[in-house]
Structure formats: structure tokens, C-alpha cells
Amino acid sequence: MHFMKHGLIAILPLAAGAAIYGFAFGLLAAQVGFPWWGVGFMSAIVHAGSSQIVAVEQFANSSAIIGAALAGATLNLRYIGIVASLSEILKELPLPLKIVAIHITGDENWALTMAERARSPSIGAPFLMGSGLAMISVWTFSTIMGAVVGTILPDLEKFGLGFAFTAAFIAMGRSLWKGTPNLIPWLSAFTFTVIAVMFGLPQAYAIVIGATVGLLFSCFIRVKQGRLP
């Protein structure tokens, strides 16, 4: 219980940042027709900001539902590695708690847990779950609040606030930037995504193509550096 409380408190500064773009997401989701309860349900069940933004944009602007699902899945492929890195931390938990811990793990509380564990090996599943519960609670509540406010406001596009979706993505992308090793994969992903859109492909499928190309470049670079077999 001590470590769970510690994790909950330690994550609060990061949770405050997530609440800002969570509110923006809820605001604009409501503007394109999502009810507040639908936004809250999506936030609690999906719990992946990038996937939710892509889904809302695609459902609002096109009928590429399968493409939106594929794009969301592609954007979150990193969670395969994240979950794999938690195997030591989660090995003592019963299966139901493992599933809950994996569901509430996001970029922020995973990074915080691994950083704290590097300093103190006693940090483990309780810290991860405490910080994760705080993050999913803040994220869900902030998106609901944004959706509630969004239903009573005029069309935000008139005020240029439609850019908030893009701004939220930029904020999330900045948190994932690890320096120059990311440059070539990110540039290749961006370039191929733009080319795909220019050739008339639905944006969701363009995201899948760009992410796949970026992943291939990243793997190639790691193999050249001897970081992958």
C-alpha cells in the first residue's frame, strides 16, 4: 500500500500535463458528435490518447473504420515492448491483476516506474499500479469534462481551436522523442505518410504505412548498430 500511494503521488505532475490535452481531446470529440459518456467510456476502455484521437478524427471525417483501428494499433505497437519490459515486475501478480496492471500502464507511469526502479529495486508492481490508476483516472475525468464543456460551446473551428488535436499529438510525440537516433525513422515515417495522403489514400491507412516504414528503418538501424540480432 505504501508503494502504491507513493506511485500515485509521484505521477501527479505528469498527470496534470495529460489532463490538459485530455480536456482538449474531450472538447473536440464532443464537437464532432461524441457524447460525454462515450468519450469517458473510450478513455477508460482504450486508455491510449493517440489511438483515441485517430479514431475520433476518422469517425468524424470518413468511413475508414478498419483503417482507424489499424492506425490506432500501429501507433501503439510500442506497448509490446513496454509490456515485455514489465515481465519481472509483474511476475508475482495473479493473472487478473496482471491484466489490470497492463491496461493502466501508459508511457508516463511506465517511464516513471522504470526510472524509480533503477534507483531502488524495491519499486515494483504496487508503484506501477498506483501511478497507473492515477493516470487513467485523471485522463478519463479530464476527457469527460472536456466533452461536457464541448457540448455547450459554439463551433470551435471558428476560433481555430481545431488545431488542438494536432497540438495534442505534438505534445505526445515530444514526450517520446529520444534524440537523434529517432531522426531517420521519424522522418521516413512522416515522409511516407505525406506521400500516401498526396496519392489520395485515407489518412488512417497513410498512418499505418508511415508507421510501418518508420519501424523498418528503426529495425535496420538497430541491426547495423548491433543492437538486434
Using the structure block, give the residue that is written with the C-alpha cell 455547450: 152
Using the structure block, give the residue that is written with the C-alpha cell 478519463: 140
Residue 116: pLDDT above 60? yes
What pLDDT is stored for residue 106 in this prediction?
86
Residues 3-61 have pLDDT tens digits of 788 888 888 888 888 888 888 888 878 877 889 999 999 999 888 777 787 777 766 66
Using the structure block, give the residue that is written with the C-alpha cell 501508459: 106
What pLDDT is stored for residue 68 in this prediction?
67
- Quote the strand ranges of the chain, DSSP E: none
184 or 139: which leads in pLDDT? 139
Q: What is the mean pLDDT of residues 139-145?
A: 94
Query: Residue 1: exposed, middle, or buried by beta-carbon count in 10 A (0-12, 13-18, 19+)?
Result: exposed
Residue 156: pLDDT above 70? no
What pLDDT is stored for residue 86 in this prediction?
87
Q: Work out the end-to-end distance of the chain between its first and last CA atoms, rounded to an integer number of angstroms.
A: 41
pTM score, whole prediction? 0.72
161 or 101: which leads in pLDDT? 101
How many beta carbons lie within 10 A of that of residue 136, not counting itself? Answer: 20
Instruction: State the pLDDT confidence band at 138, using cuts at 50, 70 and 90.
Output: very high
CA gap 39, 28 in Å, rounded: 10
Residues 63-78 have pLDDT tens digits of 566 766 776 777 777 7
What pLDDT is stored for residue 40 in this prediction?
92
